[in-house]
């Protein structure tokens, strides 16, 4: 073995020095971390309910303190009321089996299930859940200009989202659906809208949502289930869709909530592609808006909307059918940009209902 020369001794010393300094630097970093964040930074924290989480892709942060929690379904009583609630849940989950084109109770709707849009039987956070229905109805709704009961609101979805007929308000089926929805919201104080209710409200884009950009994204992220033709997928002989249609004759009509771009974009953002949640969305806001624009640019069933929005100043800014009080085009009301419409609308409301001093 050769004797080490001066150079290699020097190199070894430099290596040793570097090793010692990096170990020391590491220790200093950990120490500072502990001083700044406390020893918890070393331990995986259990998920607490009072955390404030930053939603990836959502600009706002939401507090999880008051997040709605659906009541435990196994606590539904076994008495007659309990049976009605159970049947109501069954109707929400498997609507088509009972009320679809070949429904065994009454054929009166397009074959979709309420659950296709009100996910997890209407309990999913930001999945269009029913948490705020019992607490806020009956309420004055500007679309009809009347005070609406839960029954009326349910029938709105039958006539629009399910492109069908209204259900007799005294029918066993209507009573069951309403009983279930009321049971779901039973712990929400009157007038309150809990965190996580209904759909996510996405920030508006500064540009119009673009159906062509949306088409490219749709092909990548949605077509594998809903089809390139948007017609969904149903096994031969099945009553229900494996993947529901997004446009065409079996889909929601032009009077449905989903035909408003903000409703559809909000639904898509926190729920699609299947598996997405409000905590783990899979699309940016912008992608959700563009995809929604593509879906709602495609053909779907019509509806007579002449009696909707008797006061046109109350039309939502993304209601795409005139006449409008604000002078913006149907095109802009359909795809945006929405901020200028919102500003104008607030101005009109202010001059119409001036604030009392």
CB of 161 or CB of 332, closer to ligand HEC: 161
Task: Candidates 38-46, 264-272, 306-314, 343-351: pick the segment binding ligand HEC (CB under 6 A).
Answer: 264-272
In angstroms, give the least distance from the CB of 311 to ligand HEC: 18
In angstroms, give the least distance from the CB of 22 to ligand HEC: 46
In angstroms, give the least distance from the CB of 82 to ligand HEC: 19
Q: What is the 3-state secondary structure (H, E, C) of the chain?
A: CCCCCHHHHHHHHHHHHHHHHHHHHHHHHHHHHHHHHCHHHHCCCCCCCCCEEECCCCCCEEECCCECCCCCHHHCCCCHHHHHHHHHHHHHHCHHHHHCCCCCCCCCCCCCCHHHHCHHHHCCCCCCECCCHHHHCCEEECCCCEEECHHHHHHHHHHCCCCCCCCCCCCHHHHHHHHHHHHHCCCCCCCCCCECCECCCCCCCCCCCCHHHHHHHHHHHCHHHHCCCCCCECCCCCCCCCECCCCCCCCCCCCCHHHCHHHHHHHHHHHCCCCCCCCCCCCCHHHHHHHHHHHHHCCCCCCCCCCCCCCHHHCCCCCCCCCCCCCCCHHHHHHCCCHHHHHHHHHHHHHHCCCCC
In angstroms, give the least distance from the CB of 31 to ligand HEC: 46
Task: Candidates 48-56, 154-162, 302-310, 319-327: pick the segment binding ligand HEC (CB under 6 A).
Answer: 154-162
Tell me if 224 contacts ligand HEC by CB under 6 A.
yes
- Cα torsion 104, 108, 114, 115: sign: positive
The 79-118 contact track toward ligand HEC, x by CB under 6 A, reads -------------x--x----------------xxxxxxx
CB of 84 or CB of 117, closer to ligand HEC: 117
Within 10 Å of residue 212's Cβ, how many Cβ atoms?
Answer: 10
Report the DSSP pairing between strands 139-141 and 61-63: unpaired
Contacts with ligand HEC in 293-332 (CB under 6 A)?
295
CB of 1 or CB of 303, closer to ligand HEC: 303
In angstroms, give the least distance from the CB of 328 to ligand HEC: 21
Contacts with ligand HEC in 111-140 (CB under 6 A)?
112-119, 128, 130, 132-133
Tell me if 257 contacts ligand HEC by CB under 6 A.
yes
CA distances from 208 to 55, 60, 89, 90, 286 (A): 24, 21, 39, 40, 10
Task: Candidates 39-47, 69-77, 152-160, 322-330: pick the segment binding ligand HEC (CB under 6 A).
Answer: 152-160
Number of residues counted as binding ligand HEC (CB under 6 A): 45
Task: Candidates 39-47, 64-72, 239-247, 325-333: pick the segment binding ligand HEC (CB under 6 A).
Answer: 239-247
Burial status of residue 80 (CB atoms within 10 A of its CB: 0-12, 13-18, 19 or more): exposed
Contacts with ligand HEC in 18-47 (CB under 6 A)?
none
Tell me if 155 contacts ligand HEC by CB under 6 A.
no
Tell me if 176 contacts ligand HEC by CB under 6 A.
no
In angstroms, give the least distance from the CB of 268 to ligand HEC: 5
How long a stretch of residues is the chain? 357
Among 87, 158, 278, 289, binds ligand HEC (CB under 6 A): 158
In angstroms, give the least distance from the CB of 63 to ligand HEC: 20
Contacts with ligand HEC by CB under 6 A lie at: 92, 95, 112-119, 128, 130, 132-133, 153-154, 157-158, 161-162, 177, 181, 198-199, 221-222, 224-226, 243-246, 252, 256-258, 263, 267-268, 272-274, 291, 295
């Amino acid at each position: 073995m050769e004797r080490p020369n001066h150079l290699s001794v020097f190199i070894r010393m430099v290596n040793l020095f570097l090793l010692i300094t990096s170990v020391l630097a590491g220790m200093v970093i950990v120490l500072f971390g502990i001083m700044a964040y406390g020893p918890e930074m070393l331990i995986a924290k259990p998920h607490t309910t009072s955390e404030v989480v930053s939603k990836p892709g959502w600009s706002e942060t939401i507090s999880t303190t008051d997040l709605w929690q659906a009541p435990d379904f196994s606590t539904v009583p076994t008495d007659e009321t309990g049976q009605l609630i159970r049947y109501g849940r069954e109707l929400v989950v498997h609507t088509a089996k009972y009320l679809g084109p070949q429904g065994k109770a009454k054929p009166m709707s397009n074959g979709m299930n309420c659950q296709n849009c009100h996910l997890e039987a209407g309990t999913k956070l930001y999945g269009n859940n029913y948490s705020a229905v019992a607490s806020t109805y009956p309420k004055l709704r500007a679309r009809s200009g009347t005070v609406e009961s839960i029954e009326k609101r349910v029938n709105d979805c039958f006539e629009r989202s399910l492109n069908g007929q209204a259900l007799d308000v005294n029918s066993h089926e209507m009573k069951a659906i309403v009983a279930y929805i009321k049971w779901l919201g039973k712990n929400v104080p009157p007038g309150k809208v809990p965190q996580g209710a209904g759909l996510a409200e996405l920030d508006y884009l500064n540009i119009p949502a673009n159906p062509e950009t949306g088409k490219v994204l749709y092909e990548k992220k949605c077509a594998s289930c809903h089809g390139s033709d948007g017609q969904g997928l149903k096994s031969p002989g099945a009553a229900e869709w494996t993947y529901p249609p997004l446009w065409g004759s079996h889909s929601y009509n032009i009077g449905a909530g989903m035909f408003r771009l903000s409703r559809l974009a909000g639904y898509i953002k926190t729920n699609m592609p299947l598996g997405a949640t409000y905590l783990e969305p899979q699309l940016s806001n912008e992608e959700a808006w563009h995809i929604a624009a593509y879906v709602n640019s495609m053909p779907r069933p019509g509806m007579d909307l002449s009696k909707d929005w008797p006061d046109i100043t109350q039309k939502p800014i993304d209601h795409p059918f005139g006449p409008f009080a604000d002078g913006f085009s149907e095109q802009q009301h359909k795809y945006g940009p929405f901020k200028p419409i919102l500003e104008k609308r607030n101005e009109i409301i202010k001059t119409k209902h001036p604030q009392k001093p």
